[in-house]
Amino acid sequence: MYNKPLVSIIIPVYNREKLLAFTLNSIIEQSFVDWECIVVDDQSTDGTFLVMQQYQALDSRIKIYKRPLELRKGANSCRNYGFLQATGSYIKWFDSDDIMLPKHLEIAYNTLIHNDFDFVVTDTLNFNHDTHELIDKPYDFDRDKAIINDENLALGLIGWITDDFLGKREVVGQLKFNEAITTDGDEYNFFVRLLHVSNKGNIINKVLTHRRIHNTSLTVLNREGSAKYFSKIATIKFQTAQDLVVYKNSKLIRWFLSGYMNYSFQLALEKESVPFSKPAFKLICKYYSFSKSCAFVLALFIAKYFNNGYNIMKYARK
């Protein structure tokens, strides 16, 4: 009889021919062995799928798939598809260019089951791809005093990357990654929503992942202060506000919409297009007012054509 693995590791991958082996080797070397690794290729154009085939032949716990062409392109689509293929009782996402330290799964799994948590999150250090130097943490806060709830995560008082999370299947399965978000920060949207489902989790104050920082990582491509960065943040803010409607969290919805308006205004000043302007108008009407939604649109117009509109935008966001 086939025994289901305890942990399903789900990895979306795109054009990682030269890096994927490092990630898969780090998983094979885990002290915890009861896992399956679902690797979903986002229709790579290099030799990534060949590497995947080689590792599937090397270790039967590694199971490879290609994202079906009818599904939307992107890491989130691959994560959602990978979840449907996974059979484990616990779900672990990981990125295709990062390194899982040897006791990662053992520590995370034991902490979760011994305390009957719904999920646990570990810690990560960034490292420089070229020099292999350890740099800093993606999120730096006092983990021993941190309180896990949706508002603290939304406001950046706590945080973690996709690699850090391990959770019960029945909890994770209540929501999907938002496939409209195709930049880094997609996990932020997911975990803000997940904390509306359950905040029965624990932060493990141990670095158990090394995250690779290189020139092709989304973290580098979407640098702070660029128009691409403003568009990325505006998208995440709006999508998260929209996704929270089902949970009826008016306070956080308004907070995300305020941020969306701010970054949209920055885009208008840069003469760049504003994402989701029409659906945002409706949502701002609902959670602010019709007059403030109109003020938002007017501020964008003045910003784009006259490089002004600050006071009107300030009124819209109040």
31-79: per-residue pLDDT in tens?
999 999 999 999 999 999 999 999 999 999 999 999 999 999 999 999 9
Torsion sign (Cα): 274, 150, 194, 41 = positive
Radius of gyration of the chain (CA): 21
What residue ranges do the domains of the chain occupy? 7-221, 227-317
User: How far apart (Å, rounded) are the C-alpha atoms in residues 293 and 316?
Assistant: 7
Q: Sheet harboring 90-93: ordered strands across? A: 62-66, 35-41, 7-13, 90-93, 165-168, 119-128, 201-213, 99-100
At 117 the pLDDT is 98
The two three-digit tokens of residue 255, written as one number: 């907070």
Of all helices (H) and strands (E), which one includes residue 204?
strand 201-213
User: How far apart (Å, rounded) are the C-alpha atoms in residues 110 and 153?
Assistant: 24
Q: Count Cα atoms within 13 angstroms, Cβ side, for 310.
A: 2
Token look-up 């990357």 returns 161
Residues lower than pLDDT 70 in the chain: 1-2, 216-225
User: How far apart (Å, rounded) are the C-alpha atoms in residues 299 and 313?
Assistant: 5
The helix/strand/coil state of 289 is coil
Count CB-CB contacts under 10 A for residue 142: 10
* CATH architecture under which domain 7-221 falls: Alpha-Beta Complex (3.90)
At 139 the pLDDT is 94
List pLDDT tens digits, range 194-215.
999 999 999 999 999 999 998 7
Global confidence as pTM:
0.92
Q: Are 140 and 186 in contact (CB under 8 A)?
A: no
Q: Nearest CA to 232 among 245, 218, 253, 242? A: 218
The two three-digit tokens of residue 233, written as one number: 């943040």
Q: Nearest CA to 280 among 293, 299, 295? A: 293
Q: Are 209 and 163 in contact (CB under 8 A)?
A: yes
Token look-up 């709006």 returns 238
DSSP H helical ranges for the chain: 20-28, 48-58, 75-85, 104-115, 150-154, 169-172, 186-197, 218-221, 227-243, 250-269, 277-287, 290-306, 310-317
User: How far apart (Å, rounded) are the C-alpha atoms in residues 146 and 159?
Assistant: 10
